[in-house]
Every structure is written in structure tokens, then in C-alpha cells.
């Protein structure tokens, strides 16, 4: 309850912020996107982890205003980067959407108005959904995904392989990218089971015409192996930790 009150206040007072973790094309090393990750520094200076405050936001309903803020903030940031660089800054921004948020809010109109407010094309956004979003009401989620696709956005399945992998939905839904969960990537070079799972996800994605992003890449050897296996994109501490907005912008400006 204490955290809920503090979180409500932080959202109302504009004390939340987004950090941005780069996503690169594994074949070329080019920066192609950033995943936006919410951060909350409490009044006493403590950094709260989203692993702690997102569940509180979901249970309390605060995920609705928090989620709307994240979408608007991501659009505002992208528009600012474009303006400073005098055109399309060349990176997409990915925003995480939680399953509860999709149940409680009309996300497609929220995304549409955030894009419109900043004159952004839908193709500049990726929405990351988890498999758990599909469990309770798959038909409704399918409708939401199609509405998001109609806006021109990219849809990524986050944490792929860790949820209820009902493979029947994969082919029915407009999913563009599978994000291979970090738990399969970390240590895969010395673990036959992990590398077998990664290969299976890559060939499944290829068969279904989807792209792939490997999470949690911490070494060059992992990046090279994943590139050789045909994984499209990579994300992880090898490239950068989640960056404050000014550091993310600096990376973008330097690479252009």
C-alpha cells in the first residue's frame, strides 16, 4: 500500500522517466532502435526496479496512467530527437505494454493520439507484448494487435519462450518480431539445451516470416554466434545498458 501511494504521487508529479536501451542489427552492427524502460527514483533517492513497481501498478490500476504516460513520453522523445537531428532520427522506439494494461485501457487510440500529437509515423513505434497477454482473452488481444498494425506500428512478442507458448496463435497474429528471452541467451554457448531452444525459436520465426531480437547479449562471441545463426537484432550490455535520454541521443547523433 505504501508503494502504491508513492507511485500514484510520482506519476501525478511527473517524476517517472524513461531510459533507452539500444537494439542493433546483428549483421551490420547498426543501431536500429531503442527499447524504452520506465524508471522511478523515489523521494529518498532510491531507484525502484520496474520488476517491483510494474506489478504494483498492475494490481492498483495505476498501469493505465503509467502506460499512457510512457507512450506519450516515448513519442515526445522521438519527436525531440528528430527535431534536433533535422529529420527522421533513424531509430524506432519500443514501448512495453503489459497484459493488464491491455485489458484495462484502449491502447490503439492512445498510441494513435500520441503519434498524431507529435506528427510521427506509426512505423516509428514498436509495441512489445508478452505471451501472457494472450492467455485471458486471445480474441480481444488479436483485435488490439490488428488495430496497432493498422497504425503502421511493429509488434514484438517479448520474453518469447517463457510463457504459454501456444504455437497456434503465432501464425494467426500479426507479430513482426520474436524477442528471445535473456534466460535462453545467457550461457547458451556452454549449454546444449539453451542453444537448442534458441535455434528452435530462430527457425520457427524464419518459417513464419518473423524477425528476431536476442536479449541479454553481453559478449562479442554471443553476438557473432547469434548473427551466424540468423538472428536479426541484438540487445544487451555489450552494446549498452538502458541509457538516460541525453546519453541515448548522444549515441544516435554519433552514429549518424
Q: Interacting stretch for ligand G, rule CB under 6 A, among 1-9, 169-177, 187-195, 209-217?
A: 209-217
* DSSP category for residue 167: H
- Under the binding rule (CB under 5 A), the answer on residue 82 touching Mn ion is no
- Under the binding rule (CB under 6 A), the answer on residue 218 touching ligand G is yes
Tell me whether residue 246 is exposed, middle or buried, using C-beta atoms within 10 angstroms of its C-beta: 0 to 12, 13 to 18, 19 or more.
exposed
- Under the binding rule (CB under 6 A), the answer on residue 83 touching ligand G is no
With respect to ligand G, which residue has the nearer C-beta, 47 or 254? 47
Applying the rule CB under 5 A, the residues between 154 and 213 that interact with Mn ion are 158
With respect to Mn ion, which residue has the nearer C-beta, 98 or 112? 98
Long-range contact set of residues 102-106: C-beta below 8 Å, sequence gap at least 24: 102/129, 102/133, 102/140, 102/141, 102/144, 103/136, 103/137, 103/140, 104/61, 104/63, 104/64, 105/63, 105/64, 105/67, 105/68
Closest approach, Cβ 13 to ligand G, in A, equals 17
# residues near ligand G by CB under 6 A: 22
The span from the CA of 242 to the CA of 218, in Å, is: 13
Residue in 56, 159, 197, 210 binding Na ion, rule: CB under 5 A: 159
- Residue 177: all three cell numbers together: 518480431
Shortest-Cβ-distance residue relative to Na ion: 159
Q: Interacting stretch for Na ion, rule CB under 5 A, among 43-51, 119-127, 152-160, 195-203?
A: 152-160
Where would I find the beta strands (DSSP E) of 31-109?
A: 31-41, 47-48, 92-97
CB 205 within 8 A of CB 233: no
- Under the binding rule (CB under 6 A), the answer on residue 70 touching ligand G is yes
Pairing of strands 177-180, 154-160: parallel
With respect to Na ion, which residue has the nearer C-beta, 73 or 159? 159
CB 35 within 8 A of CB 96: yes
Interface map 141-180 toward ligand G (x if CB under 6 A): -----------------xx---------------------
Residue in 18, 133, 158, 225 binding Na ion, rule: CB under 5 A: 158
Closest approach, Cβ 185 to Na ion, in A, equals 10
Tell me whether residue 113 is exposed, middle or buried, using C-beta atoms within 10 angstroms of its C-beta: 0 to 12, 13 to 18, 19 or more.
middle
- Under the binding rule (CB under 6 A), the answer on residue 131 touching ligand G is no
CB 214 within 8 A of CB 233: yes
The span from the CA of 231 to the CA of 225, in Å, is: 9
> Which of the choices ligand G, Na ion, Mn ion, none does residue 98 contact, using the CB cut-off of 5 to 8 A by kind?
ligand G
* Residue numbers at the binding site for ligand G (CB under 6 A): 21, 37-38, 49-51, 54, 70, 96-98, 158-159, 182, 215-218, 235-237, 242
* Residue numbers at the binding site for Na ion (CB under 5 A): 158-159
Amino acid at each position: 500500500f505504501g508503494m502504491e501511494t508513492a507511485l500514484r504521487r510520482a506519476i501525478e508529479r511527473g517524476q517517472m522517466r524513461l531510459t533507452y536501451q539500444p537494439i542493433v542489427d546483428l549483421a551490420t552492427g547498426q543501431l536500429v532502435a531503442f527499447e524504452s524502460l520506465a524508471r522511478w527514483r523515489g523521494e529518498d533517492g532510491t531507484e525502484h526496479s520496474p520488476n517491483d513497481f510494474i506489478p504494483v501498478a498492475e494490481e492498483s490500476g495505476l498501469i493505465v496512467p503509467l502506460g499512457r504516460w510512457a507512450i506519450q513520453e516515448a513519442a515526445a522523445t522521438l519527436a525531440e530527437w528528430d527535431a534536433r537531428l533535422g529529420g527522421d532520427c533513424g531509430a524506432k522506439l519500443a514501448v512495453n505494454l503489459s497484459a493488464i494494461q491491455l485489458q484495462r485501457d484502449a491502447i490503439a487510440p492512445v498510441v494513435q493520439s500520441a503519434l498524431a500529437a507529435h506528427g510521427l509515423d506509426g512505423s516509428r513505434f514498436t509495441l512489445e507484448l508478452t505471451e501472457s497477454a494472450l492467455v485471458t482473452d486471445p480474441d480481444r488481444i488479436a483485435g488490439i494487435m490488428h488495430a496497432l498494425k493498422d497504425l503502421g506500428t511493429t509488434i514484438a512478442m517479448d520474453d518469447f519462450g517463457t510463457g504459454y507458448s501456444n504455437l497456434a496463435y503465432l501464425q494467426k497474429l500479426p507479430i513482426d518480431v520474436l524477442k528471445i528471452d535473456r534466460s535462453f541467451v545467457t550461457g547458451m554457448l556452454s549449454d546444449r539445451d539453451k542453444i537448442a531452444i534458441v535455434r528452435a525459436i530462430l527457425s520457427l520465426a524464419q518459417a513464419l516470416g518473423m524477425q528476431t531480437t536476442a536479449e541479454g547479449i553481453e559478449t562479442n562471441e554471443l553476438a557473432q554466434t547469434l548473427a551466424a545463426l540468423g538472428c536479426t537484432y541484438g540487445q544487451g550490455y555489450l552494446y549498452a545498458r538502458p541509457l538516460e535520454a541525453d546519453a541515448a541521443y548522444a549515441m544516435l547523433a554519433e552514429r549518424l
